Structure 1
Amino acid sequence: MSDRTRVLVADDQTLVRSGIRLILEAHSDLEVVGEANDGVEAVQLTRDQQPHVVLMDIQMPRLDGIAAIARICASPGDAPHILVLTTFDQDDHLYDAARAGATGFLLKTAPPEQLVAAVRATAAGETLLAPSITRRLLDEFTRRPPGGGIPREVSTLTDREREVLVLVARGLSNSEIAGELVVSEGTVKSHLNRILAKLGVRDRVQAVVLAYESGLVRPGDA
């Protein structure tokens, strides 16, 4: 069916892939179009199957998930949305995955209904950056050198757009930002759309990376 969300699952554990397939294909709007057991297969199957969403593990043989994400996002045409499957206590490469082009992150311990909701949200263009994942990303930012100055793209933002970007980088949701600024959630979404366009980035995660790399926001800011 043309209206089904096409999903590719990339994980080196067969049981994990099989379990995800069973969970997703129990829903008529989701279809698993391929399974990859390493990064090389993930890149090739993405080209062949043209999924809307790729569920990507980071630690895989031959080519790891970060390198696979970078290759997928660098390929001609529209790249799929990439949802990284992460083990909170083990993965130390969330920053690199975000920088490579990951759209969002999902804990491997998430319950089935959260996995389904995450795939649907990612396919709809929403970014999944849970507070726990945001904190982990910030931990990685603190171990990296500060940015080398605010790039021209950031300087084109209005004061309000910068304010919104800072709040996004601190992990606030759209509804939380709306409450903080005393505006509607629709207004926040409009600001975000303009921010992404001005920065030349594809999603919220990329905007957060740029905000920290440029030094506009620094770990530990209140």
Structure 2
Amino acid sequence: MKIVIADDHAIVRSGFSMILNYQEDMEVIALAADGIEAYQMVSKHQPDVLLLDLSMPPGESGLIATGKIKEDFPETRILILTMHDDEEYLFHVLKNGASGYMLKNAPDEELLLAIRTIHNGGTYIHPKMATSLVREFISKDAGDKHSDPFELLSKREVEVLPLIAKGYGNKEIAQKLYISVKTVEAHKAKIMEKLQLKSRPEIVEYALKKKLLNF
């Protein structure tokens, strides 16, 4: 199977490449340092599997890249690699199309199992996180209606939110995302409406709570 690895640490990319290229059924065909480069490599090589780091500052994060890549290249299976054992990250990337979620401190054998599982059409969740997923399904089955408003945000709004919280003005955000100032203003209004926030300080507080300032 053809594999692309996206991680902001060169030593991690090299380490994973050595492990995977040693396998008879795996070949690492490209490397990327952030979500934007990951998208480019997937577009160019059409890999079977993408190993995607969740947090890749200062570039585009895996959280944002997952949805974009899955939407444009649905045949590529995405395995999220992260140090975050946070269920909010797990739910968000799975809803955006990831096929697997595992922690970086897992043993090599588990990484290989996860890759082969998702390549064969399955889903792989790190055992430590699987309990959270089961708990979420049980909660929904019991009629829990308290959904997280963050799930209402579009992919672009998820990009705009941390930039607002970091203090960028509308013009700066527009330049970074290659959109118009008017579009940024519209996204900002929608974000505040969906999250029921009334000021920039509240946006900052929300972003801190959601750990979005790392992205």
Q: TM over 0.5: same fold?
A: yes
Identify if the C-alpha distance between structure 1 residues 125 and 70 changes in structure 2 by more than 3 Å, giving closer, same or farther. same
Q: Deviations over 1:167-199 (max 9, x none)?
A: xxxxxxxxxxxxxxxxxxxxxxxxxxxxxxxxx
Cα offsets for 1:24-46 (capped at 9, x unmatched): 00112100011110000001100
Distance 1:119 1:56 in 2: 12
User: 106, 115, 122: which is aligned to 1:119?
Assistant: 115
Q: 1:111 to 1:130 in 2, by over 3 A?
A: closer
Written as runs of structure 1 = structure 2, the 5 A alignment for 1:1-222 is 5-61=1-57, 62-75=59-72, 78-89=74-85, 92-137=88-133, 146=146
- Where do 4+ consecutive residues of structure 1 move more than 3 Å? 88-92, 136-142
For 2:10, the aligned partner's letter is T
Percent identity for Structure 1 against Structure 2: 36
CA separation of 1:146 and 1:90: change in aligned 2, threshold 3 A: closer
Deviations 1:47-94 (CA, angstroms, capped at 9, x unpaired): 10111001111101321101111111111x533110111224468522
Taking the aligned partners of 1:135 and 1:126, their CA distance within structure 2 comes to 18
Which amino acid counterpart does residue 22 of structure 1 have in structure 2? Answer: M
What is the aligned residue count? 142
Q: Does the aligned pair in 2 maintain the 1:104–1:127 contact within 8 Å? A: yes
Give the residue type in structure 2 aligned to 1:118: A
Q: How far apart are the structure 2 equivalents of 1:140 and 1:87?
A: 21
Q: Which amino acid aligns with 1:73?
A: K
- What is the alpha-carbon distance in structure 2 between the residues aligned to residue 91 and residue 35 of structure 1? 27
Q: Give, in whole Å, the separation in 1 of the partners of 2:9 and 2:86.
A: 16
Letter in 1 for 2:65: A
Q: Is the CA contact (8 Å cut-off) linking 2:87 and 2:132 kept in structure 1?
A: no
Equivalent position SS for 2:22: coil
Measured at CA, do residues 145 and 10 of structure 1 come closer, stay the same or move farther in structure 2, by a change above 3 Å? farther
Residues 85 and 103 in structure 2, CA contact (< 8 A), matched pair in contact too: no
For the residues of structure 1 that align with 2:8 and 2:93, how far apart are their CA atoms?
Answer: 17
Higher helix residue share: 2
> What is the TM-score when the length of structure 1 is the normalising length?
0.57
Query: Following TM superposition, by how much is the alpha carbon of 1:138 offset from its aligned partner in structure 2, in angstroms?
Result: 6.3
Query: Are 1:83 and 1:102, in contact at CA under 8 Å, matched by a contact in 2?
Result: yes
Taking a change above 3 Å as real, the CA distance of residues 139 and 87 of structure 1, as seen in their structure-2 partners, is farther
**Distance in 2 separating the partners of 1:69 and 1:44:** 13
- Structure 1 residue 114 displacement after superposition: 1.7
Does the 8 Å contact 1:57/1:65 carry over to 2?
yes
The two structures have a TM-score, normalised by structure 2, of 0.59
- Contact 2:50/2:77 (8 A) holds in 1: yes
User: Residues 89 and 7 of structure 1: is their aligned pair in 2 closer, same or farther, counting only changes over 3 Å?
Assistant: same
- The structural deviation recorded for 1:21 is 0.2
Could you tell me how far 1:140 is from its partner in structure 2? 7.8
